[in-house]
Amino acid sequence: MGLYRLKPASQRLMRPLEDLVVARGITADTLTLLALPVSLAGGLALAAWREFPPGLLAVPLLAAARLMLNLLDGLVARRTGSARPLGEVWNELGDRACDVLFLGGLALAPGVDPRIGAAAVIAALLSSYTGLAGRGAGGARQYGGIMSKPSRMIVLAVAAPLAWATGDPVLLAAGATVVTVGSLVTMAQRLRATMAEFRRAR
């Protein structure tokens, strides 16, 4: 399960914020939508780092905010009894859009080969799709792998401040490379888990 093993503990830590959100009447769909501008801001901070280097220091906070919103929307949906199939569709679509917006900033970052940034986006989407494909075929949703969504955000949260401290975009390129390779490995891990599940079901 990778970092998703920490999800139950994260949910417990989020309980006070969950209580506040529910008390304010904020819906799960609203939380899903809020993750989009947060991710866009993260992507812009990466893309415009040369013009505004301190923006890289905001990347860890924006990455954490994105993960919190993604966690909260499911918690609030279940807590308020508003979980529904269409909400899950919006959630999954929103997650993929957030990856494109956030990781896409690497493809536009000065000093980073656009092909490296684009590869990170494509590999992340492929690994996510592989996790979903098994469920579409009647199996389980696969969350495992070394480069899940939390892992991708952690890589950005580490690479961006280091790039700010050194002024060297090679650290952003390295982050994109780690995401790319890790996502491809994750895709293989999830595919293997799905194949094993279907073999057991024969």
Count Cβ atoms within 10 A of the Cβ of residue 56 and give its class: 0-12 exposed, 13-18 middle, 19 or more buried. buried
The count of domains in the chain is: 1
Indicate whether 1 pLDDT > 60.
no
Separation CA 120–CA 109 (nearest Å): 13
Residues 6+ apart with CB under 8 A from 167: 53
pLDDT score, position 130: 94
Per the structure, the complete domain to which residue 12 belongs is given by 2-200
| Residue pLDDT, tens place only, 170-202 | 999 999 999 999 999 999 999 999 999 999 877
| Residue pLDDT, tens place only, 93-130 | 999 999 999 999 999 999 999 999 999 999 999 999 99
- CA distances 95 to 19, 113, 139, 144, 162, Å, are 23, 25, 21, 16, 26
Separation CA 145–CA 148 (nearest Å): 6
- CA distances 71 to 27, 45, 64, 104, Å, are 13, 23, 11, 22
**For the chain, what percent of residues have pLDDT higher than 90?**
70
Average pLDDT along the chain: 92
Q: Mean per-residue pLDDT for 58-67? A: 97
The CATH number assigned to the domain holding 53 equals 1.20.120.1760
pLDDT score, position 3: 60
Indicate whether 146 pLDDT > 60.
yes
- CA distances 58 to 41, 67, 102, Å, are 9, 14, 12
